[in-house]
Amino acid sequence: MQDSILLTGGTGFIGSHTAVALAQAGYSFVILDNLSNSSSKVLDRLARLNASPLAFVNADVRDAQTLDKLFGEYKFSGVIHFAGLKAVGESVAQPLRYFDNNVNGTLQLLQAMQRAAVQKIVFSSSATVYGDPASVPIQESAPLTSTNPYGRSKLLCEDILRELFQADANWQIALLRYFNPVGAHISGLLGEAPNGVPNNLMPYVTQVASGQREFLQIFGNDYDTPDGTGVRDYLHVMDLAQGHVAALRALNAPKLLTVNLGTGQGVSVKQLVDAFARVNGVPIAHRYVARRAGDIAQCFADPTKAQELLNWKAQLGLDRMCADAWRWQSMNPQGFDTPL
């Protein structure tokens, strides 16, 4: 049996791009996803990109029997655990669903890994574990907190993984705290396809550009930031995907790594909108409205540790993020249902 990687949530936005990066780096992998927030048509796109999984398993990560069967069939050298629900507003309305899916899902996975003696995991954490940071750029040693059930679910999973490592230091664990992933694969074959009204900025901007939505609401222009709009660390999803390959490589011995994946550059909403319009030659109609509840003024990474520990650094700038996001949107007006 050949060593391979299990990708939970591998048909999702970040997982599918990571599949391409893994294939390019010579890894084979199996995808497990319950398709609760993705399409099986992603698999056709992965095939076009020479990044087909060894197998696709349509199952829930909380399904212990399926996990045991899968760990019996394949000799996994590690797991990258993307499967999770990620909509902050929805998590406030449905906390139990979020805790069950994200925390129980992670527990079930770790227990199955323990039964199969697979002890390498790369976990999708988030900059949300820093809450409203006291200062930027944010270092990994900053205090951790949560402001909503989604964020709490990520923090709880981190706590579980830290306790597990305390109990058994043979584990190889990477907690990757992503900042704001945007953009798409350069081919236009993979990208972000949110259901319904997008919660996040970039998919909203691309839908305004395509005429699907009339205008962007910019949530607040009275923040204590250079132009008054919120500042974030937007990161190209292919750079983020490479970060997972780098994390697998760095987990070459028992250790627990906790690493920010961001560019280190703070970009305001207005700067992103202006860059998108300039790079793509498409104006983005927008109106300033009240702040969105729960939003913070600024959030960007200190990415020093990623460079030191993973030998990883973001390569792609804001212009590429905007160009790739727009290529994906223009080529796929019906998302993954657009015929190839």
**Residue 262 binding ligand NAD, by CB under 6 A:** no
Stretch that binds ligand NAD, among 6-14, 66-74, 165-173, 203-211 (CB under 6 A): 6-14
Q: Which run of H or of E encompasses 212? A: none
Instruction: Evaluate whether 207 touches 154 at the Cβ level (below 8 Å).
Output: no
When asked if residue 271 is in the footprint of ligand WQD (CB under 6 A), the reply is no
* DSSP, res 283: -
State yes or no: residue 152 binds ligand WQD (CB under 6 A): no
Per CB under 6 A, 140 contacts ligand NAD: no
| Longest Cα separation, the chain | 58
Token couple for 64: 């212990």
SS3 (DSSP) at 210:
coil
Assess whether 130 carries a catalytic annotation.
no
Instruction: Compare residues 17 and 327 and give the one whose CB is closer to ligand NAD.
Output: 17
Task: Provide the CA 170 distance to its chain's centre, in angstroms.
Answer: 26
- The residue number whose beta carbon is nearest to ligand NAD equals 12
Q: How many chain residues touch ligand WQD (CB under 6 A)?
A: 18
Give me the least distance between CB of 231 and ligand WQD, in Å please: 7
Residue 213 near ligand WQD by CB under 6 A: no
For the chain, give the number of residues: 340
Q: In a 10 Å sphere around its CB, with 0-12 CB exposed, 13-18 middle and 19+ buried, how is residue 274 labelled? A: middle
DSSP type of residue 129: G
Residue 147 or 228 having the CB closest to ligand NAD: 147
Pairing state between β 180-182 and 216-219: unpaired
Residue 183 token pair: 């953009």
86 binds ligand WQD (CB under 6 A): yes
Spatial distance between the Cα atoms of 242 and 313, rounded to a whole number of angstroms: 9
Question: By CB under 6 A, is residue 69 in contact with ligand NAD?
Answer: no
Which is the catalytic residue, given 150, 178, 223, 234? 150
Interface residues toward ligand NAD, by CB under 6 A: 8-9, 11-15, 33-38, 60-62, 82-86, 101, 105, 124, 126, 178, 180-181
Interface residues toward ligand WQD, by CB under 6 A: 86, 88, 126, 128, 180, 199-201, 204, 216-219, 230, 232, 269, 292, 295
- Residues annotated as catalytic are 150
